[in-house]
């Protein structure tokens, strides 16, 4: 039966600093690197070895993938990078300290920006130091100025259907190393989670989530590999 493994990147520097990150490219901390290696070692220990991998255009996810694959002895497998697996774009909140933002705008407003399904944060102004229009990895891509979770799902799911589904149907064991919100999009779809309930779902860093799928790619089971 097809198998899909999801891993959120290890702790990033801005995770540690409690800042909104989104599409800004932030590296892993030493702890994040350890989390990635531990994820790969767990894949090997549980004989859950991927044959194909997908990740985003962002360093923290790419490094997590590579460190995990190295630890699992699978650094050689084919991998595909795509911007549609990027984290949700946090717009004008990018780079801001979450606690300071809550103090300025109020906890309720920040909760709406962070956790509502379809309300995006304020847009990122053109010319901001976090403006990515000159970043060569996004050449020719219509970079969003902000995104809700709904917006993120609208780019992740078509990519899943066109790129990842064919691999699963071909019998590959697929590993996706991505981000909290791009992975929430996949979990929402595969587990049939409602718009209201998905806002409360937290995906921890560096913890492989395994989907055992049937021949039609419906989820038979979802579990954290560390719990098996």
Give the active site residues.
Answer: 9, 87
In whole angstroms, what is the distance from residue 20 CA to residue 15 CA?
Answer: 8
3-state secondary structure of 68: helix
Residue position matching structure tokens 């004008």? 92
Q: Whose CA is closest to 38, among 11, 15, 58, 17? A: 11
**Left, alpha or beta for 184 (phi > 0: left; psi -120 to 50: alpha)?**
alpha
In whole angstroms, what is the distance from residue 202 CA to residue 10 CA?
Answer: 14
Specify whether the CB–CB gap between 5 and 42 falls below 8 A: no
Q: Would you state the structure tokens that stand for residue 219, as one six-digit string?
A: 């989820």
Contacts of 166 (CB under 8 A, 6+ apart): none
Q: Look at the chain and count its residues.
A: 228
């Amino acid at each position: 039966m097809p198998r899909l493994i999801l891993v959120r990147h290890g702790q990033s520097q801005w995770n540690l600093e409690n800042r909104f990150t989104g599409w800004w490219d932030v590296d892993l901390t030493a702890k994040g690197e350890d989390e990635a290696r531990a994820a790969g070692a767990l894949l090997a220990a549980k004989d859950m070895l991927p044959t194909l991998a997908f990740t985003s255009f962002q360093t923290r996810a790419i490094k997590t993938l590579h460190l995990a694959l190295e630890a699992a002895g699978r650094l050689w497998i084919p991998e595909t990078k795509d911007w549609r697996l990027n984290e949700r774009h946090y717009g004008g909140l990018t780079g801001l300290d979450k606690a300071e933002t809550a103090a300025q705008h109020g906890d309720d407003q920040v909760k709406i920006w962070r956790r509502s399904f379809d309300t995006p944060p304020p847009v990122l102004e053109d010319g901001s130091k976090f403006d990515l229009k000159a970043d060569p990895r996004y050449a020719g891509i219509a970079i969003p100025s902000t995104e809700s979770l709904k917006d993120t799902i609208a780019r992740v799911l078509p990519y899943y259907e066109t790129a990842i589904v064919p691999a699963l149907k071909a019998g590959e064991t697929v590993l996706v190393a991505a981000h909290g919100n791009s992975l929430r999009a996949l979990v929402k779809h595969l587990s049939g989670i409602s718009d209201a309930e998905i806002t409360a779902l937290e995906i921890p860093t560096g913890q492989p989530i395994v989907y055992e799928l049937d021949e039609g790619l419906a989820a038979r089971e979802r579990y954290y590999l560390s719990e098996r």
